[in-house]
């Protein structure tokens, strides 16, 4: 799972970012001022940093340039309410990789995040292939042996969580958090039903799965 550091001081925006990113299968941590953002950013272990410009203590431009000075190469997407082109240049000069102007749609931010992660990790590829299947997340399409297979948006989200975590055992709770959203009232049984349905769509022999493997007492593991 890609780990994203959010540096943002507006509580409402933090909440909606966290919720949306978790739903996309990302892990997040949040810093609510520039000082804390800088510390966490330097600590490392992030695949991406989302960095607000207007922050208490240290502004986003300085956080970005300090991180770059410290040798941190993690992709940075800057967020700002300002719209002037000059700010955009300052942002990119200070070491940001991309720039999103508030208010922005979560859809747009997601696309920017994927673009940044794609540069650094194969896990963020838009089209993933396994067995005789191919999933195009941008187009929300699943193909098997080259032919389109009907999937629900929820099945596709669940499949994406599996595909982005190959070889890793995922508990039903982890799957619920990542594919439905933290705190969603989804039962373990519903997860099993979705896995059952997905197997019928991606497995040659759904009763003897090769890709979506049940791990007794723990959850499921995806194998390519
Ligand atoms: Ca702010």
Q: Calculate the CA 13 to chain-centre distance.
A: 16
In the predicted model, what is the mean pLDDT of the chain?
Answer: 89
Enumerate domains of the chain plus CATH numbers: 3-123 (3.40.50.2300), 128-222 (1.10.10.10)
Ligand 1 centre to CA of 119 (Å) is: 27
Give the pLDDT mean for 204-217: 93
Ligand 1 centre to CA of 170 (Å) is: 35
Residue 216 burial (C-beta neighbours within 10 Å; 0-12, 13-18, 19+): exposed
**What is the radius of gyration, based on Cα positions, of the chain?**
19
Ligand 1 centre to CA of 39 (Å) is: 18
Which residue(s) pair with 31 in the sheet?
7
Most confident among 56-60, 89-93, 160-164, 165-169 (mean pLDDT): 56-60
Tens of pLDDT, residue by residue over 157-175, are 999 989 887 777 888 988 9
Asked whether residue 32 carries a pLDDT value surpassing 70, the answer given is yes
Ligand 1 centre to CA of 33 (Å) is: 9
What angle in degrees, to the nearest 10, is found between the helix axes of 60-69 and 34-43? 20
Query: What is this structure's pTM?
Result: 0.56
Asked whether residue 202 carries a pLDDT value surpassing 90, the answer given is yes
């Amino acid at each position: 799972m890609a780990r994203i550091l959010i540096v943002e001081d507006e509580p409402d925006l933090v909440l909606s970012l966290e919720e949306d990113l978790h739903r996309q299968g990302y892990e997040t941590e949040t810093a609510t001022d520039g000082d804390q953002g800088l510390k966490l950013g330097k600590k490392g272990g992030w695949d991406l940093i989302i960095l607000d410009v207007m922050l208490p203590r240290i502004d986003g431009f300085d956080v970005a340039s300090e991180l770059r000075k410290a040798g941190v190469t993690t992709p940075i997407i800057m967020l700002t309410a300002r719209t002037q082109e000059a700010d955009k240049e300052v942002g990119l000069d200070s070491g940001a990789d991309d720039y999103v102007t508030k208010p922005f749609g979560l859809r747009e931010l997601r696309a920017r995040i994927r673009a940044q992660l794609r540069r650094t990790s194969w896990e963020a590829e838009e089209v993933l292939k396994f067995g005789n299947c191919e999933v195009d997340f941008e187009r929300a399409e699943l193909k098997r042996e080259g032919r389109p297979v009907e999937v629900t948006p929820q099945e596709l989200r669940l499949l994406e969580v599996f595909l982005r975590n190959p070889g890793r055992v995922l508990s039903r709770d982890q799957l619920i958090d990542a594919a439905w959203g933290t705190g969603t009232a989804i039962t373990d049984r519903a997860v099993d039903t979705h896995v059952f349905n997905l197997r019928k769509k991606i497995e040659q022999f759904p009763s003897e799965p090769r890709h979506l493997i049940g791990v007794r007492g723990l959850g499921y593991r995806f194998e390519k």
